[in-house]
Amino acid sequence: MKLYIKYMVSMRCKMQVEKELKKIGLNYFVVELGMVEVLENVSEEKRIQLKKKLLKWGLELLDDKRSILIEKIKVVIINMIHHSEEIPKINYSGYISNKLGYDYTYLANTFSEVKGITIQHYIINHKIEKIKELLLYDELNIKEIANKLHYSSAAHLSNQFKKSTGLTPSFYKKMKLKRKRNLENL
């Protein structure tokens, strides 16, 4: 039986979910971002217990089909941008549609209705967060980051970053260095 969990987006969340499943005696064999597969059917009593335990950690057990679909879309995007070695070179709509087995128009309309933003905007938000992370690691330059995230150019990346954050990538990077120097002077 598959259970879907909202806000489960990190390895720490996965570990916490595993711990809570063990506490209430649910045997699982897969715990992925946003989803758990348990070996048996979950009684209503155990479902309520799990729901309460997850809420304490800011996680939510999902019940309705639309919420589950939205969570699946989010997990595909998060995995694609944050947990893949390389972002797929095909267009995102095709990738998401293939991963979930639904028509992209249906996915996009459902996502927009429920979340209030488009899938494309959600992807951009996550790409901006990934850019911030890569800038802070200071291992890649802007052009290399643009290539890694499949931007058409470093200028396109910079424009989208500034539009989203109000800062240029180079200024964002300088802020990090300035903060680091200030901490060293304490």
pLDDT band at 161 (very low <50, low <70, confident <90, very high): very high
pLDDT tens profile 100-147: 999 999 999 999 988 899 999 999 999 999 999 999 888 889 999 999
Please tell me the distance from the alpha carbon of residue 48 to that of residue 75, in angstroms, as a whole number. Answer: 24
Which percentage of the chain shows pLDDT scores above 70?
Answer: 92
Q: What is the pLDDT of residues 20-62, one digit of tens each?
A: 999 999 998 888 888 899 888 888 899 899 999 999 999 988 8
Is residue 52 domain-shared with residue 110, that is, in the same domain?
no
Domain boundary among 21, 42, 63: 63
The pLDDT confidence band at residue 8, using thresholds 50, 70 and 90, is confident
Same structural domain, 17 and 78: no
Structural domain that includes position 95: 66-186
Tell me: do 81 and 161 sit in the same domain. Answer: yes
Which residues lie below 8 Å from residue 172, measured CB to CB, with a gap of 6+? 132, 135, 161, 165
Taking the C-alpha atoms of residue 62 and residue 51, their distance in angstroms, rounded to an integer, is 9
Is the domain of 74 the same as that of 104?
yes
The number of folded domains in the chain is: 2
Same domain? 29 vs 109: no
- Please tell me whether residues 98 and 185 are part of one structural domain: yes
CATH number at residue 88: 1.10.10.60
Strand order in the sheet with 35-38: 28-32, 35-38, 2-6, 60-62
CA distance 186 to 181: 9
Q: Show which of 63, 79, 111 is a domain's final residue.
A: 63
